[in-house]
A and B are shown apart, each in its own frame.
Chain A
């Protein structure tokens, strides 16, 4: 097993010909795909990995400079592609990984056949003519809360993001993976994510994109999916699901998994 595979806990499952790469978002790890993976094993070769900084990765590998921009994560992804010698794949990204995958597709469009974006956003901050959902002041508070008491922040943040009560399994699960992250790394990643602004390069993304989105999502307002649809460089399709929260594949698998599978299996009609 190569160093990249080891570092990112890469797992390759399934027996299909087509490769599908599942990339998790902030505060989670590859376990976020647990409801989806069983449905894919027969038809696809499923590649699972953890982003650097996730609780399951070695914190020593987390280079604060490298991951001060999303580019660091993009290179990681490309490194995995290279090491596994993936030449073509369907990329399913959640949250920040949507953008990581999209950026990677700018570098290497040849590697992607399509990108499925779940709860992705090119920009989380509000701007003139853009509604990202967050005001700069909100973020300052958020970061400050993370700095001062990470544990407390996790317990508060998890139900908000997942969109359920503290008791729900999904919230518990997300709290677990979130709290697994080392606090300073979590803060750094959160800052990287919230400071990222990919609006200018959306038009460079030429790979077909399937934009999937909960109707109610604290982190990503529904209008963002429309913004993506309008601004992506290639063809795209938007599906807004009736689910609640930023991690629909975890919190409401029953409604979300069928939607995901549909988007994975079928391409956008030309």
Chain B
């Protein structure tokens, strides 16, 4: 791969190769399987001064505002996020180049060759693909042009723009094109192409390409020499300050010739901007200083520093309206004062000339334009765009003669003065709670873009005022500023049309969002969370500061989303627990037998009680913080809402582990809110839960239920111990280490629940790796690669049981192991009619094999004996567990648990694990006797409703246990089985019963549900027999 890549790179110029490298790195970072043209396009766009960006701006029919490109970037980032992630990446490889990209590269080579026949003197790497050619070929790619279309850019138009600029020399662009933007693709042709970008970047600006900066300085000098617009404002990010510094040093050292030879520099200190109230006074002072310095000097240069002090106050939200107004007045006065100073010394008649020099970011400068519309002319300013160097060395800077993007956009701002505003209407509409947007931030922004465009068209048609589409904050600023001039004479019809159109747009983006960002709309993370806070969407539309804040970042983590939203919400909707759904409080110790029928949610107070109970009955260290969590966080009603949903879902699936379900829900909710035990707020997305206790089925079902509820998919099971359950047959896992399997699973499903079974049986090294992963949020696989854990919820399962809960497992005679051995193997049931007195006859006659039924079957009035613990010697023969076996088993198990839990010194890793997880949930051992009793009751009830003539039903213990095992471990619910299997058999039995016999024999006859030989077929995974044979014998 590397060799292949390097040969490709040889065909590219360093610039183009660097773009390709960045794209591959990007694809690698995003864990994509291939590097596609989309990656390349996104990389090209990511550079603020890049060709592609400029060409896009230039080609856009409606506007040339740089911020327009933001929509494009967003569309690309959405498109990239939708790409599939790598499936079977071999270790250490970068994502290979996709066929589409390879085709684009080949195309660019072909283009290049056609274009430059004169380069043939270089035999080996005869033709190097220039960046422009690469861009053109990338634009030809259908996927790229589709994304561009989404952002309302036309790739052919952009392509044409680039081609045009390639054909014409940079200087003649303005001739062929009416647009004032000179792309100036190659102003600096003799640049050293091979230089390490870091060298150009310099550290703290110390090292800088003398050549390049020299050029900028020269441009600024030229401006000084002009008579009009002679005061430069260097616009750009960070770079301008360096240039100004260099320039002023030059001036101060008096090494320059001409008018700048003898110029004094006055720097407005940083404190200048702090004392807002005294600005005017300070400026008057300054005027005096200037006057004194003028004498004997060729002139004075005032370094204004960063102009943001002129506008920054308006942005802070905290300032009250009157404060803002007051401040505005002060600044406006200052602007006027400075204007006066300039007029006073501007004539040049006195001693010398006065210059101003300042810096500003693009945004600041545009704001200055808005807030102080007359400033540019009064102060005689000339904006000098200085390109930022995000990818220095890769892209040349923008036009060197001052007609870059900025000045063109500045010009296009001119008609803006005094336009009538639609934004007021729009804002109020967004406040309307019924027409709120239900979109994620990305789509919200897209929507905004479109609304802006719509507004523009609308305005055009209604008032004939051409307005460029501007970012929202500009509209808003205008509203603020010219509140009095707002023109609201629009007719009602126009209003109506506007409303309709904007609603259409809203719907469109809502749908789109629903379509492409389903995660955002998932219950628990999405809409409902956003809904309670309509003010956000409103502010999002009009305040640029908020726009930049967390909730609107495209790469938002869902949990952060909830959190921030909740913090911002002014009046969260209070949840209304529905009374009808409230089930009576249940003691946490009792095991309910509801088998999926329970639809009731637990009321909140019960939950709390329950948790307290839970805390009371165990003193397991990690659990202690539940109470805190409960009290400090869950009181928030909206959290409680999602919490309840989780509890309800979990309880339905794992009805016998109420406490555990509540605990899981609590922990998960807390972690989602960023209050995980391990890491404070701002945590990573991964979550680690430890399910501990002997209840394997409970743990497994809990994990499944959680996965279904949180991710909508079944969990990925990876067994760390010796046990290999059914889920392990995945062929692709063969021959891989467990660690790599985990890594693979995380990579493939970054939003899933991954169950790591039997962590207590895992080898030390593996445990260490997992612990490390917990701490770092990244898993290091056996190849040393780091895998980000994304939003995976890890569930570790272990058999450990805290000492305080040990007592619970004493006296439980039926454990899961036994159930499993009972339930597996093809056993059948049959219904037979017995004579109470003639007990054994049928068994001698018909059970030719070993009798499996207990001997003391008809002892009491109860037709089955629950308390029977020991089976007969007969049973011993087939190796099934009798009571003594069970006890031994138990002891062994306890010994194991003791070793693990009691002596942390013997297994420090396990102890560490307990401390590092986000939450430990204890699954108490299950006591099956109540379950057995309940199942028996259900069967008997069924029996008596169908066969109502007083016949009694007898279920031998063995059969009952098998049924319990089948229900417990199998996939069929008891209700289901009763309805589909037992009921028909009961009906059959009823029809076969002698009509009169029932009356006469009810005292002496009994129906038995007993085990039968294996003969039937059952569906896979089903442990209950699919039919019950009816044997009416003995009559």
Contact = CB atoms under 8 A, between A and B. Distances in A.
A71 interface: yes
B195 interface: yes
B2 A79 contact: no
A204 interface: yes
Contacts of B3: 197, 200
Contacts of B63: none
Contact of A69 (B6, B196, B200, B207): B6
B208 interface: yes
B196 A7 contact: yes
A62 interface: yes
B195 A3 contact: yes
A155 to B, nearest CB: 24
B203 interface: yes
A9 interface: no
A79 B209 CA distance: 13
B124 interface: yes
B100 interface: no
A65 B10 CA distance: 17
Given A69-B6, A106-B10, A4 B125 contact: no
A65 B21 contact: yes
A60 B209 CA distance: 16
A34 interface: no
Overall SS of chain B's interface: helix
A162 to B, nearest CB: 28
B194 A6 contact: no
Interface string A62-85: 110110010110011111001100
A125 B8 CA distance: 23
Interface residues of A, number: 32
A56 interface: no
Contacts of A200: 3, 7
A133 to B, nearest CB: 19
Contacts of A206: 124
Interface string B10-25: 1000100100011001
Contact of A65 (B25, B125, B202, B208): B25
B207 A71 contact: no
B210 interface: yes
B701 to A, nearest CB: 42
Nearest to A106: B124
A82 B192 contact: yes
B10 A75 contact: no
B417 interface: no
A61 B124 contact: no
B197 interface: yes
B125 A106 contact: yes
Interface string B622-650: 00000000000000000000000000000
Interface in A177-200: 195, 197, 200
B287 interface: no
Contact of B124 (A2, A60, A69, A204): A204
Contact of B194 (A65, A75, A106, A204): A75
Interface string B95-129: 00000000000000000000000000000110000
Contacts of A3: 195, 199-200, 202, 207-210
Interface residues of B, number: 28
A11 interface: no
Contacts of B203: 58, 60
Given A3-B207, A106-B125, A195 B195 contact: no
Contacts of B196: 4, 7, 52, 61, 63, 66, 72, 75-76, 79
Contact of B6 (A2, A71, A76, A82): A71
B855 interface: no
A258 B1006 CA distance: 113
A39 interface: no
A164 interface: no
Nearest to B202: A3
A51 to B, nearest CB: 11
A83 B191 CA distance: 10
Contacts of B198: 60-63, 66
B96 to A, nearest CB: 15
Contacts of B210: 2-3
B9 interface: yes
Given A3-B200, A60-B203, A65-B25, A195 B2 contact: yes
A109 interface: yes
Interface in A143-194: none
A208 to B, nearest CB: 16
B192 A79 contact: yes
Which of B14, B199, B210 has the most chain A CB atoms inside 10 A of its CB? B199
Contacts of B124: 106, 109, 204, 206
Given A62-B198, A109-B124, A197-B2, A4 B192 contact: yes
Contacts of B7: 200-201
Interface in B183-199: 192-199
B199 A4 contact: yes
A122 to B, nearest CB: 11
25 contacts: A3-B202, A3-B207, A3-B209, A3-B210, A6-B207, A7-B207, A52-B196, A61-B196, A61-B199, A63-B196, A65-B21, A66-B196, A66-B198, A69-B6, A75-B195, A75-B196, A76-B194, A79-B194, A79-B195, A82-B192, A106-B124, A106-B125, A197-B2, A200-B3, A201-B6
Given A7-B199, A82-B192, A107-B125, 7 more contacts: A3-B208, A4-B192, A4-B195, A6-B199, A78-B194, A83-B195, A106-B10
Interface of B: 2-3, 6-7, 9-10, 14, 17, 21-22, 25, 124-125, 192-200, 202-203, 207-210
**A-B interface, 10 closest residue pairs, ranked by CB to CB distance from nearest:** A79-B194, A78-B194, A75-B194, A61-B198, A7-B199, A79-B195, A82-B192, A3-B199, A3-B207, A63-B198
Interface of A: 2-4, 6-7, 52, 58, 60-63, 65-66, 69, 71-72, 75-79, 82-83, 106-107, 109, 195, 197, 200-201, 204, 206
